Every structure is written in C-alpha cells, then in structure tokens.
C-alpha cells in the first residue's frame, strides 16, 4: 500500500513537472556512428531549447555511460540539433542506448524515445572480434580495446603485447581493457589479443603507436643557377611504416616521392626564393620553411672534361668545362686536389668563370691525379661536388747529386758508397752512375761507369797520394746529376787516436753531439755500422749541417743486441777528419753465449778458473763483468762478482778435497747469460801421500822394535813356549837318538799301512806292514807308485782343517787324489794329532768314551779320547776337545804296536805313531776340562794367549 502510494506520487510529480515546464521532448532522434573515430553523432528535431540532457547507456547491461547536459544550438538551415560524442570504447563493442530531453533551467521535457546504436556483439554476429583494429595512435595515448567472444565460448584473458590486462565486462560477450601511456610499436604494430578459457587466441587487433613527423634543417640551394634542391633531416623516428602510415612530404605543395628513408631531399625546377616543406602522417603534420636569394645558395655541380693542356717537369696546367653556362659568368673559387704516390695536397684558385689553373711545384717523372671542385666566390655557400679525377705524368729532369760516402777497411782499401736515389730524387729512371777518382797530388784521374743497380765501388788508393777525391754523378735519360765529392778519410782503428765513448739509445735514436770542428766547410758526416762486422759491412751515414754539432741517428736497421760503431767526420773540400767515435746498442740483451773455454786448474787447495771473453757478436750488450758461482745441484752460490770485464780469471781459495762445480756468467745491463759450468775434483797432494807412507812405515818399525824387545826380554819364556824340552823316553836298550826326519824304507815285501779306524782301540792302533800285493786293494793311490813308498815323519805342522776336511770325504775323487798324492811318499805327518783322531771318527762306530780317555802320564801318541758324535759336523766341530780329560802332559796319542785295531786299509787312520821317533812342532798341552763343550782354540791362539798372559 505505501509503495503504491509512492508510485502514484512520483507519477503525479512527473506529470506536474512536464506540464509545468511545457518543454517538448526532442523528436526524431537519430544516431550516426563514425566507428573509425569512435564518434557518435546525435541529431534531433523539435527541441526548442538550447540545453539538453543526453543519457547514454550500454543497452545490454543498462549501465550508464554518459549522463550529461549539453548546450546544442539549432542548425538554422536544417532545423536540427546535432551533438557529437567521442566514445572511449569502440562503438562496435556493444550496443548503446541514447535518449535526449530538453532542458530550460530546471525545466526539462520528457525523454525522447530511446535510440539504440547496435554493437557487433549481437547474437546474430557469432564470430569472435576485437576492436579497434589497425588504428594508429600517438605515443603516450590511452586506448580501450574490447573483445567480443564467440557465441558458446568463454572469455579467457586479454593481452597487450605480452602483458596480461585487467578486463571489464561490457556485455554478455564483450570484455574491454584500457591501455594507458602506450609506447611506440614495432614496424608491424602492437598486438592485442584475446583468448578463451582454453588460452587459445580467438581474436586480436593491431595498433600502431608512433609519432607525428618532426623534420628539421630544411636547406634549399641551386646546383645549376636555375633549379632548386632542398634537403632536410628526417628528425625523430615516427615508428610508423607502410603505405598508409609512413610520412609523406610536400615542398611548396608538390609531392616529394623520392623522399624516403634517409634520402630526405626534394627538388623544384625553378628558384622560388621561399620554400615550405610539409611532412604528414596519420598522426599529424609538420611544416618547415626556408628562404634565400639565388646567389647566396650556389653550390656548383662538378666540373667536367678535365684536361691537361701543358705538362712539364715541374708544373702543368689543368682545364675543365662547365655543363651550365651560368658558371662561366660567375666569380668562382676552386680547389684542385693533386695526389701522387708521395702525398696529396689541395690548392685553391679563384677567377671569373674559372676553368684553367696551373699546378706548380710538381715532381718530375711523377704520376699525378687531380680533381676539381668549385664554389661561388661571392657569397660563398658550399663547395660543389668533386669532379672525376684526371691523371697525368710530368716529364723527366736531371737527377739530384747522390749522397756519397767512403768507408775505409784499411789505409788503402775502402769502398765508395752512395745511396740509391729516391723517386723524388732521380727525376726519371736512373741509367747508371759515373765514379771518378782524382788525385791532385799525383794528377791522376780514373773514371768508372756503373749500372744503376750498383751502389758501391771498392777502391784502392795505393800510390795515389795522401789526398784522393771521389766524385760520383747519377745519370738518367734527361742528363747527368751534379757531381757529389768526398775526400777519402784516413783509416783509423777503434784503438787509435780517438777515444770511444758509449752512447745509449733513447727510444727514437742515438743522440750524438760533438765539438765543432773548424774545418767543416761542408758539414759533418755521421756513419755507423755493425761493430762486429769485418767485411763488406752495411754502412749507413747521415749528413749534418756545418752549424750543427749534434744529431739523432735514426735507422730502421738497428737491431737489439747488436753493437754499432758511430763515427762523426768533419767534411771539407780538402779533407775528411774523424772527430769522435761511439759504441752503442739499440737495446742491450743478455749475452747469447756463455763464456768460452772455461777451465779449472787446481793449485793446492785453490782452484783457478780461467775463461775467454765472449765474442763481440754474442755479447748482446756491454759486458759489465762476470759472476762466479759454486753450483750445488740446482743451487748457485755466488763466489765472486768480477766487475772488470777485462779480467777473465778467478781463483777460488781454501777448498777441501772433493768435487766442485763452478758456473761463470757474464752479465750486461740486461742481465746474466745462461752460465758456463765446469767441474773439478780436488785430489790429495803428493807430499801428503808420501807423508802417509812414511808414517805408516815408522809405525810398523816401532811395532817391530817393540815386539823384538819384548821377545828378547821374554826369550826364556818364548823358548819354553815354543821349544819346550821334551824328556827323553826311557826305553830299554840302546836307542840311538837321531835328529831330523826318520825315513823308514819298508821292506820291498812289505808296506806300512796307515790303518784308520775311528773306533779307537789302542790295542789295534799301529802301523801295519802290508804286503805289496795287498796294495791293489787299497785303491788308486797305490797304483801310481812305482817304487816302494817310504814312511816319512816330518816334524811339520799341518793345518788341521785341511786334513780334517778331506778325510770325511775320502770317498770323493778329490780325496782319493789327495790320498794318492799323499801316498806317493806314503808320508805320515803328525798333524793336530789330538783333534784328528776325532775328525777321523765319523766312519767308525762311536767308541766308548772310556776307551779314549787315557791316563795322565806321558803319552806322546795318545789317541784322542773323544770322538765326534755327528759325522756331518764341520771341521771346526771336529776340533772339539775330547769328552775325557787328560790330567797331565799329553804330547801325543799313545801308540801301541801290534794293535789289533790297526789293520784297517784306509788313510783315515785315527792315530799315527812310530815306534821309533816322534818329532812334533805341536804344543802338546792337555785340554782344559773346564773348556769342555766350547770351541777349542787352536794351538796358535793358545800360544798367543799364553804369551799375553805371561804363562810359561
């Protein structure tokens, strides 16, 4: 009920308002859309007011786009009102509804009927679309794009370039986005695309964002005194390409079709004096103006048909023509550029209608290329274009006098040298040289003609007097040069007369200065050459004016590490005098070779090292000295630094015996060379050797004297020790005592066999007489015996080991051989009787120890009581004392005749005895029982022990 009341009230108010205002609503409202400019034109009639309310809605969603009161006057001719509105959104995006009402102050009419501008999102237009498409807008502008989605698809996203944009829904199918402050686009434009929910592009548009043209620097000139040629700068890039978007130019209203890219020029056939250039593209236009008088903008075209009417050796004339006759009546300034192989220069000439110039200071026999350009002398504007070049060659002329010099190898021999003439000096092809040697004292003259390729001539001035002048002239087809003279200087070696200084290279050359010489009428000559060169040296020289006493010697032929000799001569017509001489290196290097012939020499405890100087060509610099090192493995120990380069020896003192390695290095300002190394082994001195021998001899003598004295003073003991008195055996009967060897010659019918039986049985131990026929059964040793063997008893000490070693191997052939040899004389030798018994034992059963132990009485041939237990033991072990002990003096094993055990046939008889005599050199001492089980010392050691202990 209240709402009904409210509606009635509003209706009543509306009726009251319209009725109250009396304004008629606009009739025949019509909409016209310019979609390119997005402009909507609304026209209506019958609106008698001048103010109207306009309301624009998006039809589909009824969203208000515009509600504005505008003042629109009636067009008197048509009687209609027209109001234009530019939509920020393309008009194709969606339908718009427009209605208008009149307003007069607060009075308003009723709204007109609603007019609809249909969009392209209507259902009957099913395709996807995007607007605006292909628009060209200025940089920095804002722009709204809309995407109409295809029927049945879902909107996805909007992209400007590669930027995802925020969209705004305008209708069911239309979405819009606005890009602000757009940047310039690339030539093909900026892409704006719309995608569906599957991220597939469904529609897109391209916008071209650029600048309006902004050319500058319009300049118009004439090249032919008639037409106009205007040029300008393109200015800022518009970023717009293509037939519709590019910039078009007009000059004074005429199109300039050739103004493209960077070629910004346009021409007119007549000189107007004022020019206006209009540059135009879709975003705007720009105007440039220029104004000038014809005479102030003359830039002549290039002269044509260049010729050389006259060509001489030193000058030539050049002429040309003008295509346009106007220049023949114009004061011109022209530049002529001439280029030769030497240089290029430009000369300027002026003249009225200038078309000929004379080129001066040309070189004879030289090819030139000339080109010309001109400008207006009056109100000069710009130089015109260069003409095409013209080439010509000047004529030849006589050459200049050659630069000659003399270099003397010796007093009478030398070479005349002259420098080849350069292209600018020869003035033509040199055909040869003429050399004249003239001696005024001898009044003789010798003339030689040399080909053009020869630049030196060996001379011999012997017998030509003290003053010889050499004259050289060069010749070419145009004639001979002026003569070049020089007086032969006196030959001077380095060491003679003139002191030699050192000169250092300062980076650009060798600075030389000298004292002025009174007689230097034709100046000074400085020559230089490789110091180490001895023959046909490359000599260079330079001339210095007479008023100058210094120069900088420069040459491209200087090399590092090479010593050069510089000499300055005073030159006059009478003589050539050497003033000063220098040595110098362009760059000092370390010597390229080590010192040669390095050799050591031992002088007692000293070593003298000597070497030779490095050859000059290998020095690399000024030798400042030598360093001597002691080389120890890779380590160098500095021994001496010899700062005198002339000193080539050094003595290293106070060395002990041993091997030494020395390294000697020469050094220059650049450093040391690699070093020469030499080795020496110090040997002991001769008198030391003699002294050592003498000391040894003296020592031996003293020792012998001491021993002699000791033996003398102890002679009784010695006698007792070495020659004890042997008590005579008390034998029944008369036994003659014979001294010496007892030779027992057995009966021819019997032999004495040494019966060996390790089983000691005193009852059997005996010398057995064996019948001769039994001899064969004993072995080979008896077969060689032709005569009956005699038994010999030597008073001889035989080394125990020898027998004891042999015996256990009696079965060996060697043993047999020995046995045979022994049996030659059937010698029976008492050798180590006590021990041999044991050593013979292995081939016998072990005897009972009790059987070996004899009594304590004198038993000169007592068999050893002990027998070795192990037959395999060595000889030393066989020397072990017997198990039993002898309590008393035991000179020898007992001998018993007719021993039943002595019937063995081997040589391994345990004990030998003689029933007649025993002479022994062996100590016959009892074994010390306390030494049982130990190695028994030899009899000699026992003796020595006793000697030392003083025991008898």
Contact 622, 587 (CB under 8 A): no
Q: Whole-angstrom Cα distance, residue 28 to residue 23?
A: 16
Q: Which is nearer to other proteins, 147 or 266 (CB)?
A: 147
Q: Minimum Å distance from CB 174 to other proteins?
A: 17
CB of 207 to other proteins, least distance (A): 9
Of the candidate spans 184-192, 608-616, 921-929, 940-948, the one that interacts with other proteins by CB under 8 A turns out to be: 184-192
Piece of the chain touching other proteins by CB under 8 A; list 156-164, 689-697, 750-758, 902-910? 156-164
Query: Least distance to other proteins from the beta carbon of 31, Å?
Result: 24
Q: Does 161 bind other proteins (CB under 8 A)?
A: yes
Q: How far is CA 461 from CA 110, 366, 624, in A?
A: 138, 40, 40
3-state secondary structure of 69: strand
Q: By CB under 8 A, name the one of 26, 156, 189, 808 that touches other proteins.
A: 189
Smallest gap from Cβ 247 to other proteins, in A, equals 13
Place of tokens 């292909």: 134
The distance of closest approach from Cβ of residue 158 to other proteins in the complex, given in angstroms and rounded to an integer, is 11
Q: Does 191 bind other proteins (CB under 8 A)?
A: yes
Q: Which residues lie closer than 8 Å to 870 by C-beta, 6 or more apart?
A: 842, 877
By CB under 8 A, what part of segment 699-758 binds other proteins?
none
- Write the burial class of residue 689 (CB in 10 Å: 0-12 exposed, 13-18 middle, 19+ buried): exposed
| Window 792-851: residues binding other proteins (CB under 8 A) | none
Choose one: 89-97, 200-208, 377-385, 701-709; the region binding other proteins (CB under 8 A). 200-208
Q: Which of 127, 124, 66 is nearest to 97 (CA)?
A: 66
CA distance 909 to 323: 155
| Piece of the chain touching other proteins by CB under 8 A; list 180-188, 456-464, 675-683, 742-750 | 180-188
Distance of closest approach, residue 238 Cβ to other proteins, in angstroms: 12
Task: Rank residues 69 and 244 by Cβ distance to other proteins and give the closer one.
Answer: 244
Q: Are strands 576-585 and 500-504 parallel, antiparallel or unpaired?
A: parallel
Structure tokens at 724: 């004890």
Give the span between the Cα atoms of 564 and 503, in whole angstroms.
10
What minimum distance in Å lies between the beta carbon of 214 and other proteins?
19
Closer of 162 and 644 to other proteins (Cβ): 162
Place of tokens 């002699």: 708
* Alpha-carbon gap, residue 785 to 235, rounded angstroms: 145
The interface mask with other proteins, positions 2-41, x = CB under 8 A, is ----------------------------------------
CA dist., res. 874 & res. 115, Å (int): 148
CA dist., res. 669 & res. 660, Å (int): 29
CB of 262 to other proteins, least distance (A): 11
Q: One symbol per residue from 130 to 149: x for binding other proteins (CB under 8 A), - otherwise; what is it? A: x--xx---------------
> Is residue 187 at the binding interface for other proteins, with CB under 8 A as the rule?
yes
Grouping H, G, I as helix, E, B as strand and the rest as coil, residue 843 is helix
The only residue of 39, 50, 157, 159 in contact with other proteins, by rule CB under 8 A: 159
C-beta of 132 vs 847, nearer to other proteins = 132
For residue 908 the two structure tokens come to 């391994």
Give the nearest distance from C-beta 323 to other proteins in angstroms.
Answer: 33
Query: How far is residue 211's CA from residue 246's CA, in Å, rounded to a whole number?
Result: 11
Least Cβ distance, residue 258 to other proteins (angstroms): 14
Q: Give the nearer residue to other proteins in terms of CB position, either 141 or 276.
A: 141
Pick from 28, 186, 307, 446 the residue near other proteins by CB under 8 A. Answer: 186
CA dihedral 456, 459, 465, 470 (to 10 degrees): -20
SS3 805: helix
- In the bound state with other proteins, the residue whose beta carbon lies nearer, of 246 and 829, is 246
The single residue among 62, 106, 152, 162 that binds other proteins, judged by CB under 8 A, is 162
Q: Is 727 helix (H, G, I), strand (E, B) or coil?
A: coil
* Lookup: tokens for 20: 């109250």
- Tally Cβ neighbours within 10 Å of residue 444: 13
Specify the residue, 157 or 763, whose C-beta has the smaller distance to other proteins: 157
Provide the minimum distance between the beta carbon of 198 and other proteins in the complex, in angstroms, as a whole number. Answer: 11
Q: What does the per-residue mask of binding to other proteins show for 96-135, with x meaning CB under 8 A?
A: ----------------------------------x--xx-
Number of residues that bind other proteins (CB under 8 A): 26
Stretch that binds other proteins, among 154-162, 438-446, 552-560, 771-779 (CB under 8 A): 154-162
* Residue ranges of E strands in 531-586: 540-544, 550-553, 563-571, 576-585
Q: Which is nearer to other proteins, 186 or 599 (CB)?
A: 186
CA pair distance 422, 400, nearest whole angstrom: 10
Q: Quote the least distance from Cβ 358 to other proteins, whole Å.
A: 49
| Residues whose CB falls within 8 Å of the CB of residue 656, separated by 6 or more in sequence, listed in order | 605, 682
- Minimum distance of other proteins from residue 200's CB (angstroms): 7
Q: Are 275 and 252 in contact (CB under 8 A)?
A: yes
Question: Residue 239 CB, nearest distance to other proteins (Å)?
Answer: 11
Q: Check residue 204 for interaction with other proteins (CB under 8 A).
A: yes
Q: What is the 3-state secondary structure (H, E, C) of 744-782?
A: ECCCCCEEEEECCCCCCCCCCCCEEEEEHHHHHHHCHHH
Q: Is 56 in the site for other proteins (CB under 8 A)?
A: no
Q: How far is the CB of 140 from other proteins (least distance, A)?
A: 19
Asked whether position 200 contacts other proteins by CB under 8 A, the answer is yes
**Of 522, 511, 575, the residue nearest 547 (C-alpha):** 522
CA pair distance 452, 449, nearest whole angstrom: 10
| Cα gap 190→239, rounded to integer Å | 11
- For residues 216 to 255, the per-residue mask of contacts with other proteins, x marking binding by CB under 8 A and - elsewhere, is -------------------------xxxx-----------
- Tell which one of 41, 75, 86, 188 touches other proteins (CB under 8 A): 188
> Is there a contact between 765 and 913 (Cβ–Cβ < 8 Å)?
yes
Tell me the C-alpha distance between 551 and 570, whole Å: 14
Span near other proteins by CB under 8 A; candidates 185-193, 346-354, 684-692, 890-898: 185-193
Bridge-based pairing of strands 540-544 and 550-553 is unpaired
206 binds other proteins (CB under 8 A): yes
Instruction: Give the Cα separation of 7 and 61 in Å (integer).
Output: 25
Between strands 201-210 and 135-138, the pairing is parallel
Q: Tell me the closest approach of the beta carbon of residue 281 to other proteins, in angstroms.
A: 14
Site for other proteins in 260-279 (CB under 8 A): 260-261
Residues in the chain, total: 952
Q: Does 190 bind other proteins (CB under 8 A)?
A: yes
What is the CB neighbour count within 10 angstroms for residue 513? Answer: 12
3-state SS, one letter per residue, for 387-434 = CCCEEEECCCCCCCCCCEEEEECCCCEEEEEECCCCHHHHCCCCCEEE
State which residue, 114 or 263, has the beta carbon closest to other proteins.
263
Among 23, 100, 193, 278, binds other proteins (CB under 8 A): 193
Q: Which of 185, 594, 627, 939: binder of other proteins (CB under 8 A)?
A: 185
Q: How far is the CB of 301 from other proteins (least distance, A)?
A: 29
Which helix (H) or strand (E) element contains residue 554? none
Q: How far is the CB of 94 from other proteins (least distance, A)?
A: 19
In the complex, which residues of this chain contact other proteins (CB under 8 A)?
130, 133-134, 159, 161-162, 185-191, 193, 200-201, 203-206, 241-244, 260-261
């Amino acid at each position: 009920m209240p709402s009904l009341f409210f509606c009635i009230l509003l209706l009543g108010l509306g009726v009251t308002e319209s009725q109250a205002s009396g304004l008629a609503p606009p009739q025949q409202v019509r909409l016209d859309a310019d979609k390119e400019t997005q402009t909507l034109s609304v026209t209506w009639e019958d609106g008698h007011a001048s103010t109207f309310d306009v309301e624009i809605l998006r039809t589909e969603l009824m969203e208000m786009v515009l509600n504005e009161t505008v003042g629109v006057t009636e067009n008197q001719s048509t009687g209609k009102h027209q109001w234009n509105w530019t939509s920020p959104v393309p008009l194709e995006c969606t339908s718009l509804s427009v209605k208008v009402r009149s307003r007069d102050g607060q009075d308003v009419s009723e709204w007109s009927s609603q007019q609809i501008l249909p969009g392209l999102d209507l259902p009957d237009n099913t395709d996807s679309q995007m607007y605006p498409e292909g628009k060209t807008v200025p940089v920095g502008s804002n722009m709204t794009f809309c995407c109409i989605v295809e029927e049945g698809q879902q909107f996805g996203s909007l992209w400007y370039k590669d930027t995802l944009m925020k969209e705004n829904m305008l209708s069911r199918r239309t979405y819009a986005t606005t890009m602000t402050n757009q940047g310039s686009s690339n030539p093909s434009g900026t892409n704006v695309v719309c995608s569906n929910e599957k991220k597939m592009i469904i529609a897109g548009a391209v916008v071209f964002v650029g600048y309006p043209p902004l050319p500058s620097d319009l300049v118009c000139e004439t090249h032919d005194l008639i037409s106009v040629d205007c040029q300008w700068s393109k200015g800022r890039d518009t970023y717009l390409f293509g037939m519709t978007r590019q910039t078009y130019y007009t000059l004074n209203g005429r199109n300039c079709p050739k103004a493209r890219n960077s070629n910004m020029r346009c021409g007119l056939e007549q000189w107007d004096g004022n020019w206006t250039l209009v540059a135009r593209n879709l975003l705007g236009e720009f105007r440039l103006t220029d104004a000038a008088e014809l005479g102030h903008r003359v830039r002549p075209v290039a002269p044509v048909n260049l010729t050389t009417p006259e060509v001489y050796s030193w000058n030539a004339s050049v002429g040309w023509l003008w295509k346009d006759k106007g220049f023949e009546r114009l004061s011109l300034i022209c530049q002529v550029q001439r280029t030769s192989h030497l240089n290029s220069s430009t000369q300027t000439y002026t003249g009225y209608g200038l078309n000929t110039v004379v080129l001066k200071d040309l070189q004879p026999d030289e090819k030139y290329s000339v080109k010309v350009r001109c400008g207006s002398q009056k109100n000069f504007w710009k130089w015109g274009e260069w003409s095409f070049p013209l080439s010509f060659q000047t004529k030849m002329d006589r050459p200049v006098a050659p630069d000659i010099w003399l270099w003397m190898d010796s007093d009478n021999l030398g070479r005349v040298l002259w420098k080849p003439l350069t292209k600018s000096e020869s003035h033509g092809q040199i055909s040869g040289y003429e050399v004249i040697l003239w001696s005024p004292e001898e009044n003789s003259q010798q003339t030689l003609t040399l080909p053009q390729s020869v630049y030196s001539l060996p001379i011999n001035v012997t017998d030509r007097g003290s003053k010889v002048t050499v004259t050289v002239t060069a010749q070419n087809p145009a004639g001979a040069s002026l003569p070049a003279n020089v007086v032969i200087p006196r030959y001077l070696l380095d060491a003679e007369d003139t002191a030699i200084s050192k000169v250092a290279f300062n980076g650009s050359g060798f600075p030389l200065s000298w004292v002025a010489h009174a007689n230097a009428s034709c100046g000074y000559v400085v020559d230089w050459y490789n110091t180490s060169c001895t023959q046909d040296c490359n000599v260079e020289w330079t001339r210095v004016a007479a008023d100058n006493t210094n120069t900088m010697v420069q040459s491209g032929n200087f090399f590092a590490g090479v010593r050069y000799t510089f000499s300055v001569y005073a030159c006059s017509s009478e003589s050539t005098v050497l003033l000063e001489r220098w040595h110098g290196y362009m760059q000092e290097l370390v010597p390229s070779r080590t010192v040669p012939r390095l050799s050591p020499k031992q002088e007692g405890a000293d070593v003298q090292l000597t070497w030779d100087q490095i050859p000059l060509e290998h020095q690399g610099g000024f030798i400042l000295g030598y360093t001597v090192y002691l080389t120890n493995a890779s380590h160098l120990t500095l021994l001496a630094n010899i700062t005198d380069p002339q000193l080539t020896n050094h003595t290293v003192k106070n060395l002990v015996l041993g091997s030494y390695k020395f390294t000697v290095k020469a050094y220059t300002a650049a450093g040391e060379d690699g070093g020469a190394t030499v080795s020496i082994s110090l040997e002991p001195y001769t008198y030391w050797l003699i002294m050592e021998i003498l000391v040894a001899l003296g020592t031996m003598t003293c020792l012998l004297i001491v021993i002699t004295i000791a033996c003398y003073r102890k002679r009784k003991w010695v006698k007792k020790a070495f020659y004890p008195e042997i008590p005579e055996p008390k034998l029944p009967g008369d036994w003659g005592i014979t001294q010496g060897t007892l030779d027992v010659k057995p009966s021819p019918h019997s032999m004495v066999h040494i019966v060996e039986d390790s089983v000691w049985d005193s009852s059997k131990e005996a010398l057995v007489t064996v019948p001769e026929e039994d001899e064969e059964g004993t072995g080979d040793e008896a077969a060689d015996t032709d005569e009956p063997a005699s038994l010999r008893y030597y008073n001889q000490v035989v080394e125990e080991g020898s027998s004891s070693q042999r015996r256990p191997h009696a079965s060996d052939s060697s043993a047999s051989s020995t046995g045979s040899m022994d049996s030659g004389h059937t010698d029976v030798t008492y050798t180590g009787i006590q021990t041999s018994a044991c050593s013979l034992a292995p081939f016998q059963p072990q005897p009972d120890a009790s059987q070996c132990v004899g009594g304590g009485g004198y038993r000169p041939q007592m068999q050893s009581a002990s027998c070795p237990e192990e037959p395999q033991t060595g000889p030393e072990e066989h020397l072990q004392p017997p198990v039993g002990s002898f309590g008393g003096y035991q000179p020898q094993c007992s001998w018993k005749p007719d021993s039943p055990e002595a019937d063995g046939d081997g040589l391994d008889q345990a004990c030998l005895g003689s029933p007649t005599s025993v002479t022994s050199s062996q100590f016959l001492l009892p074994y010390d029982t306390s030494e049982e089980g130990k190695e028994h010392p030899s009899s000699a050691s026992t003796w020595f022990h006793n000697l030392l202990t003083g025991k008898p």
